Amino acid sequence: MSQDKKVIFVTGANTGLGLEIVKALYKSTQSYYIIAGSRLVSNGDAATAAVEREIPSSPSSLSVVQLDLASDESIKRAVEDIDTKFGRLDVLVNNGGAGFDGALRDGQLSIREAWNKSWDTNVAGTQVLTSEAIPLLLKSGQPRLLFITSGTSALAFTERFDHPALQRINASPAPGWPKPRELNPIESYRSAKTGLNMMMRQWHRILLNDGVKVWAISPGFLATNLGNVGVEQLRKMGARDPSEGGNFVKAVIEGERDSDVGKVVGATGIQVW
C-alpha cells in the first residue's frame, strides 16, 4: 500500500454531508484511500457506486466499512477492519450524527429517549470511535482529526438575532404550556453539538504533543435530511447546497486551515464559543 496515498475514514458517509465529503475527496486531484462508514453496508455500497458513476475518473479508491456509532462492538470491528486493510489512518472525519428532536416533538420518543439518543450518537459514540482509532492515527506521519459540529452549537450565538436563522432558533415562544410544535426543533441536537465542541478541545489538548491536528468543522446550514424536515423545506429556510460543506471539509483535510487547529472553523472564519 502506498504511504503517499492518505487513508481517510468518513463516518455517516452514505448520505447527507458525509456523502458530499466523500464526493469532494473523490473529485480531488490528490489520491486517497477513502473509507465510507455506514450503518448498513448495502447503503454504503449503493452510495459509493453512485459516486463512481457520477465521477468516472479519480486517482482515489473507495471502500465501505460497517459502522454503528451506538454499538461499541461495531466500532471496534470497524477499526480492526481498517487496521487489517490499511495498517494506519491518516484522517478521521467524525461526521456521523443524527437529530431526534422531531421524533420527540411527534411523540415517537420520550424526552429521555430523545436526549439520550442524541448524546449517545452525536457525542458518546464519536468519543468511543475516536478513542479506538487513536492508535491507527498515531501511525500516520500527518494525522488529522475532524469533528463535524453545528453553527447552532455556539453559546454566544444564542444571544444573537441579527440573522433570520438566528431569529428563528433563538426566538422565545408566547407564554403558556404546552408550547407550539416547532417545524425544526433542535434542542437536544444543539446541546449535543455544544458538548462535541468541548470534546474536540479535550482531544486537541490530549494529542497536541503527538502532532495530531484537531478541529471542529462548522459547515453551515445545509439542505440535508438531518432531522427529517425535508430538503426543499430547508432550502426555503435558507439552507445551502450540501456540496459546499463537503468542499469545505476537503479544504481542511488538504491543509487550508492548518493555522486554526483546536478551533471551530467555518467557511467564513473561526466560530465563537
| Separation of alpha carbons 181 and 14, rounded Å | 30
| Separation of alpha carbons 49 and 31, rounded Å | 18
Distances 148 to 11, 101, 162, 172, 235 between C-alpha atoms, Å: 10, 19, 24, 27, 20
Supply 40's cell numbers. 448498513
Q: Which of 6, 23, 117, 193 is catalytic?
A: 193
Cβ(73)–Cβ(41) under 8 Å?
no
Q: Which of 154, 255, 147, 151 is nearest to 201 (CA)?
A: 147
Strands 213-217 and 264-266: parallel
Of all helices (H) and strands (E), which one includes residue 37?
strand 32-38
* Active-site residue flag, 150: yes
For 38, phi then psi, to 5°, come to -150, 140
Q: Which of 38, 74, 118, 150 is catalytic?
A: 150
Sign of CA dihedral 180, 184, 189, 191: negative
By CB neighbour count within 10 A (0-12 exposed, 13-18 middle, 19+ buried), where does 118 fall?
Answer: buried
Q: Which of 26, 32, 33, 189 is catalytic?
A: 189
- Full strand arrangement of the beta sheet holding 264-266: 61-66, 32-38, 6-10, 91-94, 144-148, 213-217, 264-266, 269-270
Cβ(21)–Cβ(242) under 8 Å?
no
Q: Which residues are catalytic?
A: 150, 189, 193
